Structure 1
Amino acid sequence: MAHRTYNIAMVSDFFFPQPGGVESHIYQLATKLVDRGHKVIVITHAYPDRKGVRYLTNGIKVFYVPFAIIYRNTTFPTVFSFFPIFRNIVIRERIEIVHGHASLSSLCHEAILHGRTMGLRTVFTDHSLFGFADAASILTNKLLKFTLSDVDHVICVSHTCKENTVLRASLDPLMVSVIPNAVVSENFKPLSRPDPSAMSFVQHPLPAHPLGPNDTLTIVVISRLFYNKGTDLLTAAIPRILENHPNTRFIIGGSGPKAIELEQMIEQNVLQDKVEMLGPVLHENVRDVMVRGHIYLHPSLTEAFGTVIVEAASCGLYIVCTAVGGIPEVLPSHMTMFAKPEEDDIVAATGRAIAALRGNRVRTEKFHEQVKSMYSWTNVAKRTERVYHGISGHISEAEFYGYDVSNDPYGHATRNRDFALIDRLKRYYGCGVWAGKLFCLCVIIDYLIFVFCEWFWPRDQIDIARDWPRKKFEGDDD
């Protein structure tokens, strides 16, 4: 079978230069898809120093669309104003598949709606977990149900994330694949302890021998300092951990609204010589911070995957983390010490991890090779490419779903959904007594805008952009 390539648009509010897990995921996935011969562009919102069209060094074109930002780098949801710009980009770049990322991204949801109106195949990747009771989660879940009522396929980064998304959006589980995040293990190598020159740039190098009872043990935290990342738990736990273990220090990297509370805690407890606040850390500097430590502490309250703990393990750090969301799926038990998302349990789990390291009961020097064998962006790209093959009809339904869905008595045949407006309206109408009618109205207006744009700005008047030379894929024909 010939290797089929696609023109793909990755759409999300979250992309570089902003640091984060979703941003890194999009970049790494796009890079590996380009290596496999595909054309990939990224559509995101503009930043103060980043507007218009930019090219990344590997040939990925990034469109920084000028829209107002309202909260945590997400754009104001206008539903329709993005359509004319999106249509122009899609036609210029001859896009075939629209791949949106993140539940909280307005651009992602709007792009999937507009993509379906234009007759394009659509994929959505969910990177987060949400509840079902609070007002914000209810609104987010209803928005997700609207978007995913008419999407070709959904990807989740963990099995817990899949269960959460299926329940939130009332999806057929067959429509959802689990493809985890990964790390570039070469970028997260531990220090070579016997080689002093390899540690010359490190402010506090690790000892070249197992930790003794009087050696300083360093705990690293790199995270956005928000409530959902467990910063309140961290603020409460640090003084107790340092009191119980005097020969211990903390390095904290990241920024957010909870940073002020951490700083106040440090001043109140006079811990300036025990806790180092680094502020925002660029992703390319994360490894240099991590290798200064022995333990990575991750007190998050909710997490779909937790790429940062994989990066920390790859750097040879022992992981102390909360057993929430998809985190228990990420690493084997010998690399992690789990805790409940409670102050007392985090303090106790950290104490057990410190004792294990000081007693030389954990072989962290083997973590890097183990992580390297478990996680690979090339594998993630191959599995994502298979999803593209499935929704485009390049592989059979039986091969894509694992069995012949045409004979499924429950009607699980979800691939190749009809683009006809009446069929789309039927899918949206089932989203709720009042919401269904509102969603149908949105789809009709979106379709009318599309018809107007096709008349006012015909396709043959839009210049086709020249493609960056594609890489020749030399792998197996899959």
Structure 2
Amino acid sequence: MRPLNICMVSDFFYPGMGGVESHLYNNSQCLMQRGHKVVIITHAYGNRRGVRYLAGGLKVYYIPALIVYSNASLPTFFCTFPIFRQIFIREQISIVHGHQAFSTFCHEAILHARSMGLKTVFTDHSLLGFGDTSGILLNKLLKFTLSDVHHAICVSHTSKENTVLRAALDPGQVSVIPNAIIAEQFVPDPGARDPKWTTVVVLSRLVYRKGIDLLVAAVPRICARCPRVRFIIGGDGPKRINLEQMREQHMLQDRVELLGSVKASDVRNVLVRGDIFLNTSLTEAFCIAIVEAAACGLLVVSTKVGGIPEVLPRSMVTFAAPEEDEVVEALRLAVEQAKERERGAEARFHGLVKKMYSWHNVAERTERVYLKVVDAEEPPLIERFRRYYGCGLVAGKLFCLVAAVDFLIGVVLAWLWPRDQIEIARGFSKERYQEEIRNL
């Protein structure tokens, strides 16, 4: 097997919480176990800036950047080129892998990498529409980025169809590799539940896309119809104020517990307190949260949107349309099922999820994409411009201009800071790290 030097790039990484962050960390760890070198580039989070090493020697560059919305950095187009180029050369990167269409760093890193002649891969973790202004603009940006990327990865077949349509891609250049979990970190604990209540757990970013308005409408109705049901809601975001107002208005302080932001290490401890997991997302490409909940033995109630129907078998999940009445009815049925569950059902759920999802399998399939990409023939510069020009009558010319300016900036940077004057980063010694761990 040929070891590769891979750079993962995204605005979304730890200490932020979410599916993209989990995917980046766990996939990187498994790729390193397979003998590859992996570094991650993301923006600074508060005082976490500079270079950090995480468990197993995973190297992370936290670059200072201005955050504009939901952990996404301000677009700067060419301003990140100098520092990205320094990192790519210092770490001897051969493949740049960008994650998430909403990430500014992802798009800029792929543009700069192509100007340097590096191989690129893109993973899309979300679904977008075609009829709203933000969707149209982001789709055009995605078309620009993916016009010159070597391969794209989606986390579900629904996500693949969406991405192929949005970016007008050849379906043969897009692979489907799902997310996964570490099942050993989500072992059921039936003794953690309160037998006096049927507990519904919600763990989500509290934003519109996650269907928090549906949750706000459904909680009082379920509490009125099922007097022995309570809710534990974890997560933070702009919609938290709506949940607090709902709880005050309906006087549900003793039945609705708002945990706020939940650390990754505490997710399992929250999940095992519940009987049912509720997901009210309005759009979702995969949804790791319902897999984690099922691994902990919870019954899952979820809106039937995006790629969610592909994630779990019907015996583990009850679907509802993303409408208030549908969610309430599906949750009521789940409450009845929870009362009648047979002993050992939690362990059975955990065993099934463990067989279905593994990060080692995800890393192996991702590695196949890398090996295919690294051997791909590099197109001439004129072919790159031809691809950009095909993005639209006006947008095509603009994209060609952006690519040309970026290429010229790369030439200037190569003159100002030649490769042979950039110090190569020292490799991480796994043997020394493991020895120090044993001595602790």
1:359 offset after TM fit, Å?
2.5
Output the amino acid matched with 2:419: R
SS across alignment from 1:125: strand
Task: Report the alpha carbon displacement of residue 67 of structure 1 after superposing the two structures with TM.
Answer: 1.2
Secondary structure of the 2:55 match is coil
Of the candidates 431, 434, 437, which is equivalent to residue 391 of structure 2?
Answer: 431
1:464 is aligned to 424
- Alignment partner of 1:166: what SS? helix
Match of 1:345 among 326, 331, 334: 326
Provide the C-alpha distance between the structure 2 equivalents of 1:312 and 1:390, rounded to a whole number of angstroms. Answer: 35
8 A contact 2:188–2:346 mirrored in 1:
no
Corresponding position of 1:168: 166
Following superposition of structure 1 onto structure 2, how do residues 285-296 of structure 1 map, counting pairs within 5 Å?
285-296=266-277
1:331 aligns with 2:312: yes
The answer to whether 1:416 aligns with 2:377 is yes
Give, in whole Å, the separation in 1 of the partners of 2:289 and 2:338. Answer: 21
Partner SS state of residue 296, structure 1: strand
- Aligned structure 1 segments of 4 or more residues deviating by more than 6 angstroms: none
Question: Partner of 2:81 in structure 1?
Answer: 83
- In structure 2, the CA distance between the partners of 1:180 and 1:331, relative to structure 1 (3 Å rule), is same
Q: Quickly say closer, same or farther: Cα 1:359–1:57, change in 2 above 3 A.
A: closer
Q: Is 2:184 the counterpart of 1:151?
A: no
8 Å CA contact 1:124, 1:153 repeated in 2: yes
Asked whether the 8 Å contact 1:153–1:387 carries over to 2, the reply is yes
Letter in 1 for 2:67: I
Q: How far apart, CA to CA, are the structure 2 residues paired with 1:350 and 1:15?
A: 32
User: How big is the shift at 1:57?
Assistant: 2.2
What amino acid does structure 1 have at the position aligned with 2:294? A
Instruction: Give the conservation status (yes or no) of the 8 Å contact 1:152–1:416.
Output: no
Q: Which residue does the alignment assign to 1:4?
A: 2
Unaligned runs of 5+ in 1: 194-198, 208-214, 394-414, 472-478
Deviation at 1:357, TM superposition (A): 1.7
Deviation at 1:417, TM superposition (A): 4.3
Alignment-mate amino acid for residue 251 of structure 2 = V
2:202 match: secondary structure: strand
Answer whether contact 1:39 1:470 (CA < 8 A) is retained: no
2:251 aligned with 1:270: yes
**Matched residue of 1:50: which SS?**
coil
The equivalent position to 1:34 in structure 2, one of 32, 35, 46, is 32
In structure 1, what is the Cα distance between the partners aligned to 2:275 and 2:11? 34
How do residues 186-197 of structure 1 correspond to structure 2 at under 5 angstroms? Answer: 186-191=184-189, 193=190
Structure 2 unaligned segments of length 5 or more: list them. 432-440
8 A contact 1:155–1:179 mirrored in 2: yes
Cα separation, 1, equivalents of 2:412 and 2:318: 58
Kindly indicate whether the alpha-carbon contact (under 8 Å) linking 1:34 and 1:470 is maintained by their aligned counterparts in 2. no
1:305 to 253, 273, 286: 286
- Percent identity at matched positions? 60
SS in structure 2 at match of 1:114: helix
The 2-side partners of 1:113 and 1:77 are apart by 13
Match of 1:121 in 2: 119
Amino acid aligned to 2:371: H
For residues 70 and 208 of structure 2, what CA distance do their matches in structure 1 show? 13
Q: Which residue in the other structure is 1:409 paired with? A: none
Preserved contact between residue 38 and residue 470 of structure 1 (Cα < 8 Å): no
1:224 to 184, 205, 213: 205
Distance in 2 (CA, whole Å) between partners of 1:67 and 1:273 is 42
Query: In the TM superposition, what whole-angstrom CA distance separates every residue of 1:305-336 from its partner, at most 9, and x where no partner exists?
Result: 00000000000000000010000000000000
Cα contact 2:42–2:105 (8 A) shared by 1: yes
Distance 1:379 1:359 in 2: 35
Distance between the aligned counterparts of 1:309 and 1:421, measured in 2? 44
Contact 2:202/2:231 (CA < 8 Å) preserved in 1? yes
1:365 corresponds to which residue?
A: 347
Aligned residues: CA RMSD: 1.2
Q: CA deviation digits over 1:91-133, x for unaligned, max 9?
A: 0000000000000000000101111111111000000000000
Give yes or no for the alignment of 1:383 onto 2:383: no
Among residues 403, 408, 414, which one is paired with 1:454 in the alignment?
414
Structure-2-length-normalised TM-score: 0.96
Name the CA distance, whole Å, in 2 between partners of 1:359 and 1:125. Answer: 41
> Superposition pairs for residues 230-241 of structure 1, below 5 Å?
230-241=211-222
The answer to whether the 8 Å contact 2:198/2:338 transfers is no
Aligned partners of 1:309, 1:4: CA distance in 2, in Å?
A: 35
Counterpart contact for 1:184–1:376, Cα < 8 Å: yes
Partner of 2:57, secondary structure, is coil
Shift of 1:361: 6.4
Tell me, in whole angstroms, the C-alpha distance in 2 between the residues paired with 1:360 and 1:144: 46
Kept in 2, the 8 Å contact 1:13–1:105? The answer is yes
Q: Give per-residue Cα distances to partners, 1:158-187, cap 9 Å, x unaligned.
A: 000000000000000000000000000011
Asked if the contact 1:117–1:446 (Cα under 8 Å) also holds between the matched residues in 2, the reply is yes
State the Cα distance separating 1:387 from its structure 2 match.
0.2
Q: Which amino acid letter does the alignment assign opposite residue 171 of structure 1? A: L
Using the size of structure 1 for normalisation, the TM-score is 0.89
- Whether the 8 Å contact between 1:189 and 1:315 is mirrored in structure 2 is yes
* SS in structure 2 of the partner of residue 334 of structure 1: coil
Contact 1:37 1:470 in 2 (8 A): no
Please name the residue that 2:436 is paired with: none
